[in-house]
Structure 1
Amino acid sequence: MTNFLFCTKPISGHITPGLPVASELVRRGHRVRWIVEDDFAEMVERAGARHVTPAHTPSLANLIEAGSDPLNAQFVDLIPGQLADYRACLEEFPASAVITDSTSGLGAMILHELGGPPWATLGVSPLALPSPETPPWRSGLPPATTAEDRERYRRMHWEHAHVRTPGVTRGLNALRTGLGLAPLEPEVSIWDILCSSFLHLQCGTRSLDYPRPGLSPAIRYVGATVATEPGATADLPPWWGELRGDRPVVFVSQGTLATDPGDLVLPTIDALAGQDVLLVVSTPDPRGLGPLPENVRAAAYVPYQDVLPLAQVMVTNGGFNGVQIALSHGVPLVVAGDTDDKPEVANRVRLAGVGIDLHTGRPKPDQLSRAVAEVLADPSYRDRAAGVRADFAGHGGAAEAADLLIELATGALPRQPV
């Protein structure tokens, strides 16, 4: 029996991908504790892990309100509190590995350097590791194909790290020095070390990422860790049987955070009203949508893993978890998202040929109507989505991630340059 300690940002999209991994470890007889705010205690406990309230780590909102730069607050100013919470937990729960999401892993890295256990990161967003072959984050550019591209991207990555955001690396180096650790090498920035050099479990597949020659063996794609198998049919809406009719099914969802239906849900309803499709809408307040057209069905909760095997297109704001579930079922996409990592997800969808990127978070109905019609009419989108589906099927998801974490905990995974 091995102890594993998880710690993630208190955001549903950062926690959800790790829950099946924790459940799989518990199912195999291991013990898991999870440090996260109390709002997510029930979710963590349902997965079989024991919830731990962070006593020392401040919230990002409080740090920013107190005057911290947002980047420093997220990546540096949390570290002292994280260290205190890790150490308090490890005193009575000696974990063999610490697992964090990829945007909050630096406390675990510092803990290891100060004598703590090895750590793993879970990639809950598209892989952001800079390289000359990959375009800068949210640039919308394609992967490099020429020496000129690679030199351009190398320069752009360097400017982002050393000209636009040097303060966050300086802050980390100051903290490291204060803890008796050496600063990063001059050519290394904080953006180069967000993935664990022991094990980075990247959700998704290579077919849904940019080409990355020479990728470190510490980076492992594991497919979709979120649930992809159908759930209990008793929880489905009464109109569910209609999805097996003659009309193509289009599914639209804005995920768990961006819930204003005016962004995507209502424009999609307007776009497809009266068309020869059945539009299924997942939204927190279906009654707030008003009277629905004849071909629209709505519910407060529509399980992705149940609706997507029956859908021909998914319209989404680009949440990474939802896109992975769609593609694990071979469903092509129309993506309209412009916040957080959503432009990166949309760019990968476009470049993989598995959907259309509308390059906005508030599309017009005519944009949506044309995009859905194109995806339905052009079989190449579904053909390419089927190829990505096969790639997902070649991975074990949560089971594969659990295998790798057990190897990490038993010392079978050496530290690697990332």
Structure 2
Amino acid sequence: MSTILFVPMPERGHINPSLKMARALQKRGHRIVYCGLRDMEDLIRAEGFEFECLFEHLYPKGFQTEIKARLGSLSGLSRFLYVRELVRKQTRMLESLLQGEFDQIISRTRPDLGITDVLLPETFLVLRGHQVPALLLNTSIPLRWEPMTPPPTSGCIPDGRLSSKVQGALDWGRVLLDAKLGALSTWVGLEPDGLGYRRKLARKHGYPLSGLDFAGRPTGEHDPMLILCPREFVEFRDAKLSIEYHYTGPSIDLQRQEPDFPWERLDGERPLVVCSLGTMVIHPERARRFHQSVADAARRRPRWQFVVATNQWTEETPGQAPANLVSVKHVPQLQMLRRASAMVTHGGFNSVKECIYFGVPMVVLPIQFDQPGVAARVVHHGLGVRASIDELTPDTFVPLLDEVVENPSYRRELARMQALFQAAEQEQAMVEALEKHLRRA
């Protein structure tokens, strides 16, 4: 039996895709330990895994709920000052890593393999310094190294009409602009000096600086990186990625714990549209526009039924909610998708993978991070349509819903991709690949 240490980002979108992998390894007799913020503990222990806490002196239990509530309500100078306060905490967290807080957990748990989120390069560098073989877990598409984004063919926002060559140039331009803005944000105190601390950690633990990108993250050129998705969805046409990835199945944990839902309010004979923008904090005006559009769509399509997850949204939607709209804090998404006719989503990689797995066409409203790239692939493969949330109105939203619910072409393309996803979702193949890495180590 080996001990395997998982270090995901402390967000559901990063934890959920690791659960199937962890459960499959646990069934083979391996000891699974998760490491993260105290807010993760109840979720991890409920799934049947051990838990080790990091940075409790900085991030006590309840901190994530507090930060999401405050970021969703503050604006202007008060928001700026609160972000400055959070940055100081991040700097102290990086200092704790450099001083050895994570080293103590490694010494205590003695892992044989580390699986750490690609967005947490610091923990990866410490694992390597302790001679623990480590895999980078990328819970999204490998945006940083792709040469271009596939041009959407329908239901797209305006830049989808650009040629793939021009679009590729814009993608790289955004990456470089983000780097410049990151340096500026560090200077004014809106971001910690992550690059400086990562370089210090790399030197301390003997990791080659040539293996870090311009933000101080491991590039993947020296170490294995896992992509939890079949290659056929991620790559397109003749695009060549500059490093080799280890593609696995979509890693959808069908056994994960889900919230309760008033199922008696749904009619199994009527089309069901599931609507959710994920659990990350978004701008209040965007959330308001989204929820108002969903309510208006429900009024215009009274024969359909709508379920909307409010997630971080705290305001009431103006006006009386229509009878065919059920609003809940969080949806049991896997159970919902088994009976859904369509999903309206922010384009989070997990939600899109789950829609494909269950054959549900999508209206994608990308907001940030990897979501535009994921949305472009949804449209490229004919699995749904894409629109701008900032331009969303009932007049534009309802025709998109009509398109994906009533046009059978989306179901046909989904059936093809669904077959690839379900064929790739084999625990045996995933576990054997990881155990092979253990044996090599």
Give secondary structure in 1 for the equivalent of 2:338: helix
Q: State the one-letter code of the partner of 1:396.
A: E
Maintained 8 Å contact 1:57/1:82: no
Residues 272 and 369 of structure 1 are in contact (CA less than 8 Å); yes or no, is this contact kept in structure 2? no
1:402 & 1:264 partners in 2: Cα distance? Answer: 40
1:227 is aligned to 2:243: no
CA contact (8 A) 1:134 1:143 kept: no
C-alpha offsets along residues 175-230 of structure 1, whole Å, 9 cap, x if unaligned?
1575274763499534773548443221233333243425644x222232233479
> 2:393 is matched by which residue type in structure 1?
K
Q: Distance in 2 between matches of 1:287 and 1:175?
A: 44
**Which whole-Å CA distance do the structure 2 matches of 1:129 and 1:221 have between them?**
16
Instruction: Describe the SS at the equivalent of 1:239.
Output: helix
Tell me whether 1:353 sits opposite 2:382 in the alignment. Answer: yes
> CA–CA distance in 2 between the matches of 1:37 and 1:46?
15
Match of 1:277 among 295, 304, 314: 304
Shift in alpha-carbon separation, 1:21–1:67, aligned structure 2, 3 A:
closer
Q: Shift of residue 288 of structure 1?
A: 4.7
Is residue 114–residue 132 contact of structure 2 (8 Å, CA) maintained in 1? yes
Deviations 1:284-304 (A, max 9, x none): 599955743233334444322
Higher fraction of helix = 2
For residues 390 and 153 of structure 1, the distance between their equivalents in structure 2, rounded to whole angstroms, comes to 33
The answer as to whether partners of 2:143 and 2:370 remain within 8 angstroms in 1 is no
Are positions 1:252 and 2:281 aligned together?
no
Question: Which residue of the other structure, out of 184, 193, 196, is the alignment partner of 1:171?
Answer: 196
How far is the alpha carbon of 1:269 from its aligned partner? Answer: 2.0
Q: Percent identity of the aligned residues?
A: 22
Q: Give the Å deviation of 1:264.
A: 2.2
**Out of 281, 284, 292, which is 1:266 matched to?**
292
Asked if 1 retains the 8 angstrom alpha-carbon contact of 2:363 and 2:401, the reply is yes
Aligned to 1:416: none
Q: Is the 8 A contact 2:37 2:56 kept in 1?
A: no
Matches within 5 A, 1:172-251: 174-175=199-200, 178-179=203-204, 181=206, 184-185=209-210, 188-190=213-215, 193-195=218-220, 197-211=222-236, 212-213=239-240, 216-217=243-244, 219-228=245-254, 236-239=261-264, 242=267, 244-245=268-269, 247-251=270-274
Distance in structure 2 (CA, Å) of the matches to 1:123 and 1:186: 17
Deviation at 1:64, TM superposition (A): 6.2
Please state whether the residue corresponding to 1:52 is helix, strand or coil.
strand
Q: How many residue pairs end up in the alignment?
A: 401
Displacement of 1:41 in angstroms is: 0.5
Shift of 1:53: 1.0
**Contact between 1:83 and 1:107, CA under 8 Å: does it hold in 2?**
no
| 8 Å CA contact retained: 2:45, 2:51 | yes
* Maintained 8 Å contact 2:250/2:421: yes
Question: Which sections of structure 1, spanning at least 5 residues, go unmatched?
Answer: 413-418
Deviation at 1:154, TM superposition (A): 9.5
State the Cα RMSD in Å: 4.2
Letter in 2 for 1:9: M
* Contact 1:231-1:306 at 8 Å conserved across structures: no
Equivalent residue of 1:256, what SS? Answer: coil
Distance 2:211 2:117 in 1: 26
Which of 113, 116, 119 matches 1:103?
A: 119
Q: For 2:395 and 2:158, how far apart are their aligned partners in 1?
A: 26
> Which amino acid in 1 is paired with 2:306?
L
Unaligned runs of 5+ residues in structure 2 are 68-80, 151-156, 187-192
Separation (CA, whole Å) in 1 of partners of 2:256 and 2:48: 20
Per the TM alignment, residue 372 of structure 1 is displaced from its structure 2 partner at its CA by 0.4
- TM-score, normalization: structure 2? 0.75
